[in-house]
């Protein structure tokens, strides 16, 4: 999974709209909430290195998309896809 394969970038301007008129699920509160969660976790745990910024975002999104009781399953599934065993 890469950052570009699982995400779409949207812009929301407070001056123009609070909610995107074409997609009601894109709004400033959602964008700001996601940004705050990402920023808080990495400041608290790691600090932020610009050289690793994309990997921080990819990990954050992977955890968000793979959360819950199936997280370990998703982890090992991706490991097995990346490291294919040959007989």
pTM, 2 dp = 0.52
pLDDT of residue 46: 63
DSSP states of 42-66: HHHHT---GGGHHHHHHHHHHHHHT
Ranges of residues in the chain whose predicted pLDDT is under 70: 1-13, 17-27, 31, 41-48
pLDDT of residue 12: 67
What average pLDDT is seen over the chain? Answer: 74
pLDDT of residue 67: 77
pLDDT of residue 52: 78
């Amino acid at each position: 999974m890469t950052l570009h394969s699982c995400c779409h970038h949207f812009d929301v301007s407070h001056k123009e709209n609070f909610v995107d008129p074409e997609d009601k699920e894109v709004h400033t509160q959602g964008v700001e909430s996601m940004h705050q969660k990402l920023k808080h976790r990495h400041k608290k745990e790691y600090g932020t290195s610009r050289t690793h910024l994309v990997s921080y975002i990819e990990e954050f999104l992977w955890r968000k998309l793979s959360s819950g009781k199936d997280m370990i399953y998703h982890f090992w599934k991706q490991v097995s896809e990346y490291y294919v065993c040959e007989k």
